[in-house]
Amino acid sequence: MPLPCGLSRRRFLGGLAALAPWSSQVPVRAITKRPGFHWFGYYDKRQFDPTGRYVLGMEVDFEHRSPQPADRVRLGMMDLKDGDRWIPLAETSAWNWQQGCMLQWLPGSDREVIYNDRQGDRHASVILDVRSGRKRTLPAPIYALSPDGRWAVTTDFRRLAHTRPGYGYSGIPDPNRDVAAPEDAGIWRVDLRTGQTRLIISIAQIARMPSPPSHPQLDGTGATHWFNHLLVSPDGRRFIFLHRWKGGAAGNRFLTRMFTADPDGKNLHLVDGFGGVSHFIWRDARHILSWANRPPLGGKFYLFEDQSDRVEPVGPDVMTRDGHCSYLPGNRWILNDTYPDKERQQHLYLYDTATGRHIPLASFYSPPEYAGEWRCDLHPRFSPDGRFVTVDSAHQGGRQIYLVDLRPVIG
């Protein structure tokens, strides 16, 4: 079929996809719109307030490039009971395309949110009262919050800026850029009441730690090591993190080990050390659902029991692709998404652990220019009652936030 004069194949295919940019088995609506591009970021943060009425989001005026130090992102929330009205809240220059600025509601609060900021030559976090506008600044950024909202764990966003573009913050260089595994960087615990910050696990400590005989001894010689993807357990007694490295014996790909630890960094446990572990979520205080590549089944979702060697595959025949997984309240339903397939469709679905059914919810077209650091993953997040889900999608020509109604499926 000949193409119209002056129209490239890429633009033509993109135009065809734009005619029917998504399909859905449940109600879906946009809750943000132009001007501006909107998204929230990661799937394991509290985007909804406890009532389910207010939904946090971020806004910028550009796409398709890395954030520069002078670029600021606007923070706000949508009122779902007032026509999805955008309520401006704040701005920050500490952000990235994948996880934003770690904006989220403080656990249990219907008026306080927290987000990261850059203040001079350091990163910080800000607790904002969305009703009064009062702010309180802490001397360190946050990554994952405890379920009681009293403390957080965090890592070095300066290091992430060059080891994993799309997850760190621009504007402050990494003082350990040329150090393979620094002793003075790693995971810090932050007291959200006092601001006291303490390094509890160093990158050097974990880089030196061999894997047990049940796992392969992956070679990190000559590689650059870092941490990311931290998440505290539902009871606050453990947290999880990924140890990653690239270069040297590892070559151009990065390898990954998954660890858990006590809130003080003690009682470290290697959950998976086969090199290919990826997205994860706590199912409960003892179990972790994660995508991993391990023998003999290879790449599957697995349910790991913390501080033991017990592991079992989950949905091995129907959840066959890596995605951003979470459990809806009650732990019967697994909410998940996929990366773009060969038609550039990103699929949102539920997995019913009681019956083993895979239930398609919606598919969203991802234009080809949304790739690499500034890709737009769905990153599904659910409301407190588990009846609604938000996703970030660029299927209508610019990333926006969409609300998905699960009630036709789960009641």
* pLDDT value at 8 more than 70: no
User: Do the Cβ atoms of 152 and 158 come closer than 8 Å?
Assistant: no
Which of 303, 321, 341 is the last residue before a domain boundary?
341
- Give the CB-side neighbour count of residue 103, counting CA atoms within 13 A: 31
pLDDT at residue 247 is higher than 50: yes
Give mean pLDDT, residues 341-357.
97
Same domain? 332 vs 386? no
Identify the pLDDT of residue 6.
37
Residue 19 pLDDT exceeds 50: no
Model confidence at 20, in pLDDT bands (50, 70, 90)?
Answer: low
Quick one: which of 332, 299, 321 has its CA closest to 378? 321
| pLDDT tier, 411 (very low <50, low <70, confident <90, very high otherwise) | confident
Same domain, 105 and 161: yes
d(CA 76, CA 91): 9
Number of structural domains in the chain: 2
For residue 13, pLDDT over 50 is answered with no
Assess whether 294 and 391 both reside in one domain. no
Cα gap 279→290, rounded to integer Å: 6
> Is the domain of 118 the same as that of 131?
yes
Same domain, 24 and 41: no
Q: Are 195 and 292 contained in the same domain?
A: yes
Give the mean pLDDT of 65-74: 97
Q: Are residues 221 and 368 in the same domain?
A: no
Q: Is the pLDDT of residue 17 over 80?
A: no
Helices (H) and strands (E) in the chain, counts: 4, 29
Same domain as 346, residue 250: no
- Among residues 316, 341, 366, the one where a domain terminates is 341
299 and 373 part of one domain: no
Instruction: Kindly state whether residues 192 and 335 are assigned to the same domain.
Output: yes
Q: What is the pLDDT of residue 11?
A: 44
pLDDT, average across residues 283-310? 97
| Secondary structure (DSSP) of 141-181 | --SEE-TTSSEEEE--HHHHHHHSTTSS-SSS--TTTT-SS
pLDDT at 324 over 90: yes
pLDDT for position 22 = 79
Rounded distance between C-alpha atoms, residue 95 and residue 99, angstroms: 7
pLDDT (average), residues 158-173: 95
> What value does the mean pLDDT of the chain take?
94
Contact residues for 360 (Cβ-Cβ < 8 A; gap 6+): 25, 347, 348, 349
> Per-residue DSSP letters for 58-115?
EEES--SSPPPTT--EEEEEEETTTTTEEEEEEEES--BTTTBT--EEPTT-SSEEEE
For residue 203, give the CATH number of its domain. 2.130.10
Indicate if 204 and 63 belong to the same structural domain: yes
Looking at the structure, tell me whether residues 292 and 187 fall in a common domain. yes
Confidence at residue 5, expressed as pLDDT on a 0 to 100 scale:
37
Domain termination site, one of 310, 341, 372 = 341
Instruction: Tell me the residue range of the domain where 174 lies.
Output: 37-341
